[in-house]
Amino acid sequence: MNKYIEYYQTLKSKISRTTLIFIGVVILVLLLLQQCNSNASLKREIKQVQMVADRELNNYKAGQDTIRIERNKNGELVAKKLAYEFDINSLTDSNKKAIADYQRALNLTKDIKNINSLLRTEIRVKDSIINSKGTVITLTDSTSTIKFDDDKNWDKYNWRRFNGTLDVLRNKKTNALSVTSSRFDFEQGIELKAAILNENGVNSLKITTPYPGIEFTNIENINLVNDKLNQKNEKKAGFSIGIGAGYGINLTPNSVITVGPQIGIGLYWSPKWLRF
DSSP state letters, 138-200: E-SSSEEEEEEEEEEESSSS-EEEEEEEEEEEE-TTT--EEEEEEEEEEEEE---EEEEEEET
* Contacts of range 71-77, beta carbons closer than 8 Å, 24 or more positions apart: 72/208, 74/210, 76/208, 76/209, 76/210, 77/208, 77/209, 77/214, 77/215, 77/216
Is the separation of the CB atoms in 92 and 230 below 8 Å?
Answer: no
State residue 163's pLDDT score.
93
68-71, strands of its sheet edge to edge:
68-71, 77-82, 202-208, 193-199
State residue 46's pLDDT score.
75
pTM of the model: 0.65
pLDDT in tens, the chain (276 residues): 566 566 555 555 555 566 666 666 667 766 676 666 666 666 777 777 787 888 889 999 999 999 999 999 999 999 999 999 999 998 999 999 999 999 999 998 778 888 899 999 999 998 888 888 889 998 988 999 999 999 999 999 999 999 999 999 988 888 898 999 999 999 999 999 999 999 888 899 999 999 999 999 999 999 999 888 766 555 555 556 566 665 555 656 555 556 566 666 655 656 555 555
State residue 112's pLDDT score.
85
State residue 45's pLDDT score.
73
State residue 129's pLDDT score.
85
Please give the C-alpha separations between residue 50 and each of 47, 54, 204, 266, in angstroms, as whole numbers.
Answer: 5, 6, 20, 39
Phi (first) and psi of residue 90, to 5 degrees: -140, 50
State residue 38's pLDDT score.
64
Dihedral class, residue 255 (left if φ above 0, else alpha if ψ from -120 to 50, else beta)? left
Cβ neighbours for 235, distance < 8 A, ≥ 6 positions apart: 272, 273, 275, 276
The residue extents of the domains of the chain are 2-46+235-274, 69-233
